């Protein structure tokens, strides 16, 4: 089931989505599903006593950005491995 809603986006964001993604609704739904999964993971960790803050996330992003790049082949293997944890069957790229 789907519901129609109307949203407003800044001009630069709307132009990007229209130019690069084609299906605006699908693109936004994918972003929101990713956020929902992240929120669910954080809630599960909090229930077990692990609080993940935005600072933790930013620190981890910085650490990962400092690592050497991986090959396209390794990236594809990583995405395939991640699919086992994805409810809708599509790993986030």
CA–CA separation, 57 and 35 (whole Å) = 13
Quote the pTM value: 0.58
Predicted confidence at residue 91, as pLDDT, reads: 46
By C-alpha distance, which of 2, 3, 4, 24 is closest to 13? 24
Distance CA 29, CA 85 (A): 18
Q: Read off the pLDDT of residues 42-66 as tens digits, 9 standing for 90 and up.
A: 999 999 999 999 999 999 999 999 9
Between 19 and 58, the more confident residue is: 58
């Amino acid at each position: 089931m789907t519901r129609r809603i109307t949203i407003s986006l800044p001009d630069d964001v709307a132009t990007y989505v229209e130019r690069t993604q084609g299906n605006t609704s699908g693109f936004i739904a994918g972003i929101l599903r990713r956020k929902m999964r992240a929120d669910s993971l954080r809630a599960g960790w909090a229930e077990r006593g692990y609080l993940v803050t935005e600072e933790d996330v930013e620190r981890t992003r910085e650490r990962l950005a400092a690592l050497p790049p991986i090959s396209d082949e390794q990236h594809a293997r990583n995405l395939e491995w991640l699919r086992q944890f994805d409810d809708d069957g599509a790993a986030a790229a």
